[in-house]
């Protein structure tokens, strides 16, 4: 997925103190759904069965889930990924785009 494939345009694309857009895997473990590079990196970290990239529509569903449905109490990257995996099948039918 590329930035141009994203449905939402209200992300911040500048780093804040303590963040490094070039080292998102080594960055703090707290995930920010408002920072575009963190959202994009997280989405692109998901793989399809067999190891390839997810289809673009699946990536866009994940973006929607993160932007609109992710509970604020879930903040760690690994917890966010687990939440997406757990809820994807149930939520994909509500995807509005």
How many angstroms separate the CA atoms of 4 and 59, rounded? 13
- Name the domain count of the chain: 1
pTM value is 0.85
pLDDT digits (tens, 9 = 90+) for 79-97: 999 999 999 999 999 999 9
Phi, psi (5° rounding) for residue 67? -75, -40
Residue 16: is its pLDDT beyond 90? no
The CA distances from residue 17 to 13, 14, 26, 30, 32, in Å, are 13, 10, 14, 14, 13
Q: Provide the residue range defining the domain that includes 65.
A: 3-94
């Amino acid at each position: 997925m590329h930035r141009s494939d994203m449905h939402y345009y209200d992300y911040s694309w500048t780093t804040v103190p303590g963040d490094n857009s070039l080292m998102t895997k080594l960055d703090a473990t707290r995930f920010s759904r408002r920072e575009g590079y963190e959202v994009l990196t997280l989405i692109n970290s998901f793989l399809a069965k067999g190891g390839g990239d997810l289809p673009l529509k699946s990536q866009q569903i994940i973006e929607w889930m993160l932007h609109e449905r992710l509970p604020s109490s879930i903040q760690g990257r690994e917890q966010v990924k687990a939440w997406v995996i757990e809820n994807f099948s149930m939520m994909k039918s509500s995807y509005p785009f």
